[in-house]
Amino acid sequence: MTEVFRAIGLGKSYPGVRANDDVSFAVSAGEIHALLGENGAGKSTLVKMIYGLVRPDDGQMQLSGAEYLPADPRAARAAGVAMVFQHFSLFDALTVAENIALGMENPPPRRELSRRIAQTSSDYGLPLNPNRRVATLSAGERQRVEILRCLLQSPRLLIMDEPTSVLTPQEAEILFATLRKLAGTGTAILYISHKLEEIRSHCDSATILRHGKVVNTVTPRDHSARALAAMMVGAEMRTVDRSNRQAGAPVLEVSHLSLDAPTAEGTRLQDISLELRAGEILGVGGVAGNGQEELLSALSGEALSPAGTVLLEGQDLSRKGPETRRQAGLLAAPEDRLGHAAVPEFSLTENTLLTGANRQGLVRRGLIDPGAARRFAEAVITAFDVRTPGPGTAAGALSGGNLQKFVIGREVLGKPRVLVVNQPTWGVDAGAAAAIRQSLLDLARGGAGVIVISQDLDELLELSDRFAALNDGRLSPPRATEGLTIEEIGLMLGGAHGMEVAHVEA
């Protein structure tokens, strides 16, 4: 096979972070080459260098044997490199044709362009109407726009940045069929992902990055997902340790909690009762939209419930808001990291104040104590291995997994009596997910009660002592997790809802 692209000793530093260090690998024509790594391993920086968005500090690149150093993405496109972005690259208010024209160097006149879009989209089985506004398209259709934009330029090297993270499994299958077809025509494809199964079944080779360095280049089919994950996260990969935990006295009691749906699309909570013991993890499973968010709000205090329905160690908190509940030791970490659990524009230090202000003593005489807030932020960063230049970094600048570690860490270090988390590892890579799960177990071992609301059944089975299913706003009686089978859980979830077993990434 002829080599299309080669990186030799690429390196790039940002203040406080060595994003890439001595990265070398090669991609051949017709090959689907995976770039595998945890969040923050340097995958994005690497492809940005190849696409001309970031200039490498050292090392060099070759395209078809010739020296290659694009000044900007247009130079990269002119050289035959195209890229499909994870996000940030479509214009909602513009039409499909306009979006595609923007990604081409010399777009043909409008009619000719529309004709070519129709032609190429039918060649590859990706139907699209060139005159639709992008705002009206689904996630899968949007990605089609990006792919078509690349295909129309007949690239030599196509870069795909986590393309399946927004797709349904069916859409992902279509995408891989398209990529196969494209590789068949001699295009080299660089495929970035942290989904191991996907890479094992579809990619010809894989370069694995860890902390900005190449760990190994392997044929993914020859290795188990577990082995790949181990390479990806290094020695830190461990199975969670569930030992040494004992259920103590009840800490949280919820009795006959019913709440109307907060919005028209919301779910009504109906007669929810549960008892959580100290040192216990209660798993709450269910298909999304069955009341998970509403349950979290009712427990965190964002939604108030009738008196006597939520009791923490005998103290009635039903009519108290979130801050009072936090003071009492009932903490929560909602699902949505950006905008609910953290303010994207705030620094990590400022974000600690959102829930830690009183509990951590970060406020003195009505004034913020910046030193204390920074120290607490640093403590969270250290304890949870949050990869960031420092506590002054804006929350929105962190990768999803790192921010999730920070958000969970902020609550865990708050020494809660009861912690409620919703989807703690959603969209988080394997290494970070394992760390978050371990921290929840450690918290329970320390005597706190933990409620984990999740759609990932394997996660719930791994973590929880008892399992309850949330179905249309009703909570099933909890059952001991030990001995519970996936089939039984399916029945608890109402069967007909057809929740699929979560796709575990490692």
Residue 77 CB, shortest distance to other proteins, in Å, is: 7
Task: Select 83 or 209, whichever has its Cβ closest to other proteins.
Answer: 83
Of 187, 94, 98, whose CA–CA distance to 149 is shortest?
A: 98
Q: At 488, phi and psi to the nearest 5?
A: -65, -40
Question: What's the rounded Cα separation, in Å, for the pair 505 and 364?
Answer: 44
Task: Select 186 or 400, whichever has its Cβ closest to other proteins.
Answer: 400
Task: Select 26 or 69, whichever has its Cβ closest to other proteins.
Answer: 69
Size of the site for other proteins (CB under 8 A): 25
Of 65, 45, 39, whose CA–CA distance to 57 is shortest?
A: 45
Task: Select 150 or 298, whichever has its Cβ closest to other proteins.
Answer: 150
> Which residue type sits at 490?
G
Binders in 280-339 for other proteins, by CB under 8 A: none
Binders in 39-58 for other proteins, by CB under 8 A: 52-55
Question: What's the rounded Cα separation, in Å, for the pair 91 and 179?
Answer: 24
> Which residue type sits at 123?
D
Binders in 129-148 for other proteins, by CB under 8 A: 133
Question: What's the rounded Cα separation, in Å, for the pair 20 and 303?
Answer: 45
Residue 104 CB, shortest distance to other proteins, in Å, is: 10
| Chosen residue from 2, 24, 58, 91 binding other proteins by CB under 8 A | 91
Query: Contact letters (x/-) for other proteins, 105-124, by CB under 8 A?
Result: --x-----------------
Residue 344 touching other proteins (CB under 8 A): no
Residue 94 touching other proteins (CB under 8 A): yes
CA atoms within 13 Å, Cβ hemisphere of 371: 1
Task: Select 149 or 326, whichever has its Cβ closest to other proteins.
Answer: 149
| Chosen residue from 76, 228, 259, 489 binding other proteins by CB under 8 A | 76
Task: Select 103 or 490, whichever has its Cβ closest to other proteins.
Answer: 103
CB-CB neighbours of 479 under 10 Å: 15
DSSP code per residue over 143-168 = HHHHHHHHHTT--SEEEEESGGGGS-
Residue 159 touching other proteins (CB under 8 A): no
498's tokens: 């057809």
Residue 103 touching other proteins (CB under 8 A): yes
CA atoms within 13 Å, Cβ hemisphere of 13: 5
Give the sheet arrangement for strand 32-36, strand by strand: 81-84, 157-161, 188-193, 32-36, 205-210, 213-218
> Which residue type sits at 297?
S
129's tokens: 């109407």
Greatest C-alpha distance within the chain? 74
| Chosen residue from 8, 24, 58, 72 binding other proteins by CB under 8 A | 72
Task: Select 53 or 484, whichever has its Cβ closest to other proteins.
Answer: 53
Question: What's the rounded Cα separation, in Å, for the pair 173 and 154?
Answer: 22
Question: What's the rounded Cα separation, in Å, for the pair 400 and 344?
Answer: 11
Task: Select 371 or 389, whichever has its Cβ closest to other proteins.
Answer: 389
Residue 88 touching other proteins (CB under 8 A): yes
Residue 336 CB, shortest distance to other proteins, in Å, is: 21
Question: What's the rounded Cα separation, in Å, for the pair 42 and 45?
Answer: 5
Which of 98-106, 210-218, 311-319, 481-489 is the region at the interface with other proteins (rule: CB under 8 A)?
98-106
Question: DSSP label at 332?
Answer: E
| Chosen residue from 9, 11, 73, 344 binding other proteins by CB under 8 A | 73
Residue 72 CB, shortest distance to other proteins, in Å, is: 4
Task: Select 90 or 269, whichever has its Cβ closest to other proteins.
Answer: 90
- Alpha helices per DSSP H over 203-291: 225-233
Question: What's the rounded Cα separation, in Å, for the pair 235 and 233?
Answer: 7
Which of 61-69, 89-97, 365-373, 420-428 is the region at the interface with other proteins (rule: CB under 8 A)?
89-97
Task: Select 82 or 331, whichever has its Cβ closest to other proteins.
Answer: 82
Residue 101 touching other proteins (CB under 8 A): yes
Residue 379 touching other proteins (CB under 8 A): no
Task: Select 101 or 407, whichever has its Cβ closest to other proteins.
Answer: 101
Which of 82-90, 120-128, 373-381, 424-432 is the region at the interface with other proteins (rule: CB under 8 A)?
82-90
Burial of 485 (0-12, 13-18, 19+ CB in 10 A): exposed
Residue 92 touching other proteins (CB under 8 A): yes
Residue 77 touching other proteins (CB under 8 A): yes
Task: Select 74 or 497, whichever has its Cβ closest to other proteins.
Answer: 74
Query: Contact letters (x/-) for other proteins, 11-40, by CB under 8 A?
Result: ---x--------------------------
306's tokens: 């009738």
Residue 25 CB, shortest distance to other proteins, in Å, is: 23
Give the three-class secondary structure for 2: coil
334's tokens: 């909602």
Task: Select 113 or 460, whichever has its Cβ closest to other proteins.
Answer: 113
Cβ 23 vs Cβ 77: under 8 Å: no
Of 95, 101, 137, 94, whose CA–CA distance to 116 is shortest?
A: 101
Which of 2-10, 97-105, 217-225, 235-243 is the region at the interface with other proteins (rule: CB under 8 A)?
97-105
Cβ 385 vs Cβ 405: under 8 Å: yes
Instruction: Enumerate binding residues for other proteins (CB under 8 A).
Output: 14, 52-55, 72-77, 85, 88-94, 98, 101-103, 107, 133
